[in-house]
Structure formats: C-alpha cells, structure tokens
Amino acid sequence: MRTRPTILFFSPAGRPVPDFVARWVDGKGLTVVPVHDAALVEQMVLRALPSLVLVDADGTKDEGLKLCLRLKSDPYMAIVPLAAVAGRHSTDRVREWFAAGADEVITPLFEPAEQAGRLDGLVTRTQRDVAVNPSTRLPGTTEIEREIRRRMETEAPFAVCYADLDHFKEYNDRYSYYDGDRVIYLLSRILHDVVKGMLGGQGFVGHIGGDDFIVVIPIEAISEVCTEVLFVFDTLIPYQYNEQDRRAGYYFGKDRRGQLHRVPLMTLSIGIVTNQHRRFTHPAQVSELATEMKSYAKIQPGSVFVVDRRHDPSPNDEEEG
C-alpha cells in the first residue's frame, strides 16, 4: 500500500495543531489530520500508513507515551515515523519518549527553523530506510524502478542485469535459513563491490528480495562486470559448504516427490536486457524481459550471463505483417 501524504496529530487533550507544524506542511502537499482518540490513530496507521505521526507530549496522563509504545512494538506500524511535540510542561521527559520508541522529540528549546529541519530530516530518513532491503541494505524495488526510469529518461545506452541463485532452495533445506541469509548477504557484497569498484557512480545494485538482485550498468561494461562477478562468486561460494560437500562438488537432496537426487553447488544466473535495440516506455517492460532472460539463463549449466539480442520490430516489418 502506498504511503498517503497525511500527517496524524494526536492530542488527547484536544489541542490544536501547533503553528510550526502548520507552517511546515504548507506547500508540501501534506494534510494534517487531528485525532483525539488513540485507538483511532492505530486504526488509521494500520489502514493508511501515514507519512508521520505527531503526538502531543503535553496530553493528559500518559496516553501519548502508551500510544507510542504500542505503535513502535508492532513491526508493521513501527515503520511510520513518530515525533513527540513537547511543550513547556514536558521538556523534562524527553528520555521517556525516546525509551518508548519515538523517532524524534521536538521541544520549545529549538528555534522554529530547527523544528522544521528536524521534521524534514525525520521524514527523509524514514523514506530512505524503507527504500532499502533490511537484510542487505541495498535499494529495494521502489529505488530499482526509479533508477530504471531515470536511465530511460536519459536515453543513454544501459543494461539491466537480473541475478538469481541456482539451487538455493536445496541449500537452505540441507543447511539452514541462517546459512542461506549469509549466502544472500555474500552475493550482495560481491555485486556491490564489483560494480562500485569497477564503475563507481555509473553502476547501480538493488535487491528485489530473497536471492533476486538487479544491477544497472552501461552496455559497454556488461562483459567485464559480469565476468568478474561470476568469477568471484564461483571462487567464494564453495566455502559456504562443509568440506565433504565442497570436495564432492555435490550432495544428495530430495525432490518434491521425496526422491533422492544429486544437487550441485550453487551457481549464479544473470539475465540481461538492454535498450540497444529496443525502446522501452515503462520500467515494467524492462522487468518482464529481464525476468524472461533470467529464466533462460537458469537452464544453462554453471554460472552464466546471457544478453537479450532481439530487436524491436521495425515499421517495415509491421507493415509487411
């Protein structure tokens, strides 16, 4: 669900939205919604994932602190940033708010410009944090789509590489999800270090999830980058197995019918799509073709990369058809 451009202001005492908050949202395309019931705040956070929750720290009793604790103890709701707005009666309770999980505490000690700056920083940090994969800290699907769209708009030649592990499920079944997570992290570092080391800011590495990664690079770098990635991967991956499996180069696993079969060590498949002979109008087209090429790469033996060499049909071809 998309984050709505809404800010919830919870004040159990029914106080109005602070002037500095009203000034801050002016021109940002955000709507401030005052809410006086804590249960309603939780419902709205669950349903709509607002951009920010502000809590009146001067509210009666400890309703605001309790709400903060409930929101931040729930993994789904905890991603929504929460700031306590402390008045002159609550500046001495800043530690309690941070202990309850608040992401920021705005006090009268800050000048108006600093109050606004802290809210800007809070929202920016949150947007950055939810845009990355938590296990690898690489950009997630939102940033991947943004990067592909950016490359499309520049019209410069680029390649989108879809990298995926082969025999990863069998590895998880034989070892453990902990070992599987370690392999995924290892792959993330290989991709990041090779791409950034060879291309610097010209390369982009994103993590779709699981063992699926996207790399965006200039077309002329395809062979050099992918060859290096596969070499480093094939060099390091055997050491993720015990000595017996590593020496044999395989182990016995069960298929879906429970039959034993030989499972080779993990390999890496990379399917690549470029705009060299194709014109894309939406990142979804790139994603669909990259997925198709990745599937084709996975039926090839060993660690490989394959490039889509097909052309868009020419106007003459369409007329003849």
Amino acid occupying residue 306: V
Q: Is the pTM of this model over 0.75?
A: no
Give the pLDDT confidence of 64-105 residue by residue, as tens digits: 999 999 999 887 788 899 999 987 766 678 889 999 999 999
Complete domains list, the chain, with CATH = 4-130 (3.40.50.2300), 141-320 (3.30.70.270)
Arithmetic mean of pLDDT, 195-213: 94
Task: State the pLDDT confidence band at 123, using cuts at 50, 70 and 90.
Answer: confident
The token pair at 105 is: 């505490």
Task: State the pLDDT confidence band at 61, using cuts at 50, 70 and 90.
Answer: low
Residue 2 has pLDDT above 70, yes or no: no
Residues 6+ apart with CB under 8 A from 127: none
Residue 181 has pLDDT above 50, yes or no: yes
The whole-angstrom distance between residue 103's C-alpha and the CA centroid of its chain comes to 20
Residue 6 has pLDDT above 80, yes or no: yes
Residues 6+ apart with CB under 8 A from 242: none
Query: Out of 4-13, 163-172, 216-225, which region has the weakest mean confidence (pLDDT)?
Result: 4-13
The token pair at 187 is: 């792959």
pLDDT at 91: 62
Residue 4 has pLDDT above 80, yes or no: no
Is 60 exposed, middle or buried (CB count within 10 Å of its CB: 0-12, 13-18, 19+)?
Answer: exposed
Task: State the pLDDT confidence band at 215, using cuts at 50, 70 and 90.
Answer: very high
